[in-house]
Amino acid sequence: MDAEKIAFLFGELPGDEDPDDEEVRHHLVEERVLAQQAFYEDGLPVGAFAVVIHQLIADQIAEEKPPEVWRTARRLLDDGLDATLVMSNLVLAVNTAMAAALDSGEPVDDASYIEELERLPLPPVREMLDVFTGITRERRSTKETPWHLSPSGTPDRRARMWWPRPGRPTTARLRGRGFPSAPPSSWPGCSWISPTS
């Protein structure tokens, strides 16, 4: 395995490990994955599935089967993404291809996997949140058709929801109770009204 691939997959190799040996490579990948993030943000430990996905990508890069995986990794590295973010993007592409295969009951389609790789990189989460926030702010400030009206301008019955009336319980107090199809009489201060009422 060449030095560029080793640096991407493992950083520095401990001792005289041979990353061309699949068993050694898998062990090195597992150590790196768990060292980078032993727990997810919600406190759950990183599972064996995450390690296996990283090992699969390492095998694809080492063997260049398909060669597009390493080409994509190099392209993303050349675009300035760090190795961790590049690997995260590759994991998303593998997960998408595997999910499609599981849904169809067929083996992973190499052509669709390569298409997923070509779509990379995905924007960082922070950037996506900023874009969505901007869109939301823009739509609130324009005089577009209100969300509760159908395209023809008539009230959309599917948009009916619980609206607290002035001086009655707030929406925050109603959260977690669900929204039944008919107004229960046991909810004081609320009535089944349309936003247009």
Give 4-57 pLDDT, tens digit per residue.
Answer: 999 999 988 878 889 999 999 999 999 998 888 777 666 677 778 889 999 999
Is the model more confident about 166 or about 38? 38
Residue 158 has pLDDT above 90, yes or no: no
132 token code pair: 């969505």
Return all residues near 133 (Cβ < 8 A) that are at least 6 apart: none
- Enumerate the domain spans of the chain: 3-127, 145-192
Nearest to residue 56, comparing CAs of 100, 103, 105, 108?
Answer: 108
167 token code pair: 């001086």
Is the model more confident about 79 or about 159? 79
Q: To the nearest 10°, report the CA torsion of 74, 79, 83, 89.
A: -90
CA 90, CA 83: separation in Å to the nearest integer?
Answer: 10
Q: Contact, 159 vs 147, CB < 8 A?
A: yes
Type of residue found at 112: S
The model's confidence at residue 66, banded by pLDDT at 50, 70 and 90, is very high
What pLDDT score was predicted for residue 155? Answer: 53
**Lowest mean pLDDT: which of 58-62, 132-136, 161-165?**
161-165
